Every structure is written in structure tokens, then in C-alpha cells.
């Protein structure tokens, strides 16, 4: 969910309000859905660790606006092979956005190279502040 918050705050900024729903099995397993309200739309972001191991880890968000919807999903299957899609729904139809190929190993290698100054890095301490604030706001809502 935190990686979704990074994408959302970079593209939409901080939301005007947050509502959170959750169900927990125990201290280590839960499902969380955060609804983030913006001036011209809202986002529903979900993550769950309640499923069996074969389900893997799954998350994503649906961003609904006056002129369309963006839906993003990500999975890390039991086989360790990640997938991710972003689909745009507009009056022009349904369009799956072409994402560059990525996997957790390449992402980590790219991150290490960026930290060492050997590659471009879009993430800076300043660029993470809004995502961290939003993540902590959601966490505080869950802790009430």
C-alpha cells in the first residue's frame, strides 16, 4: 500500500479526507481499504494479508474521476513472479497502459545504483514526505 501512496501523492497530491476500513484475523494478518477524497474524484486503495499463501500478496487502487477511472493492480504470486497492470477507462474506451518490464531484483539493483550515484533516481527525501505523511495518517486511523 505504501508504494501506492507514493504514486498517488506524486500525481494527485494529498487527499482532502481519508476513510479507512479494516478487518483483522490476528495481530499479523488483516485487510485494509483506504478511501482518499480529492476535489474531482476519489481513490480506493486496498491491501490484504488474509489470503492463503498460494494467493500471494496483492494490492492496488482504483482512482475515480469525473472523466474516467484508473485501476492499478499488483501481485507477487506464490511463484515469486510479480505482475502489475494499470488500466484507464474513459469515454474513448478501455486502455491498458504499457508498463516497462520490472521485477523485484531489477528494482533493487536500480535502487542500489541510484543510491551510489551511478543511475538516475526519481526518489529523493523531499519527494517521499507526502507519501510518508499519507501512510502515517492511514496508520493513525487504523490505530484508533
Q: Could you write out the three-class secondary structure of 105-138?
A: HHHHHHHHHHHCCCCCCCCCHHHHHHHHHHHHHH
Q: pTM above the 0.85 mark?
A: no
Q: What domain count does the chain have? A: 1
131: CATH: 3.30.360.10
Q: What is the pLDDT of residues 7-44, one digit of tens each?
A: 788 888 899 999 999 988 888 788 889 999 999 889 99
* Residue 20, domain extent: 2-143
Confidence of residue 107 (pLDDT cuts 50, 70, 90): low
Q: What integer pLDDT is reported at residue 88 of this predicted model?
A: 93
pLDDT for residue 55 is more than 80: no
pLDDT for residue 62 is more than 80: yes
> Regarding beta strands 82-90 and 68-76, do their DSSP bridges make them parallel or antiparallel, or are they unpaired?
antiparallel
pLDDT for residue 125 is more than 80: no
Amino acid at each position: 500500500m505504501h508504494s501506492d501512496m507514493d504514486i498517488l501523492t506524486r500525481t494527485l497530491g494529498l487527499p482532502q479526507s481519508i476513510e479507512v476500513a479494516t478487518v483483522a484475523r490476528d495481530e499479523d494478518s488483516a485487510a485494509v481499504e483506504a478511501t482518499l477524497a480529492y476535489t474531482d474524484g476519489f481513490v480506493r486503495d486496498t491491501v490484504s494479508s488474509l489470503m492463503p499463501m498460494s494467493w500471494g500478496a496483492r494490492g492496488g487502487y482504483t482512482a475515480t474521476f469525473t472523466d474516467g477511472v484508473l485501476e492499478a493492480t499488483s501481485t507477487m504470486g506464490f511463484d515469486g513472479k510479480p505482475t502489475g497492470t494499470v488500466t484507464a477507462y474513459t469515454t474513448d474506451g478501455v486502455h491498458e497502459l504499457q508498463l516497462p518490464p520490472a521485477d523485484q531484483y531489477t528494482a533493487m539493483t536500480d535502487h542500489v545504483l541510484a543510491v551510489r550515484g551511478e543511475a538516475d533516481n526519481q526518489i529523493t527525501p523531499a519527494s517521499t514526505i507526502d507519501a510518508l505523511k499519507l501512510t502515517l495518517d492511514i496508520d493513525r486511523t487504523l490505530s484508533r
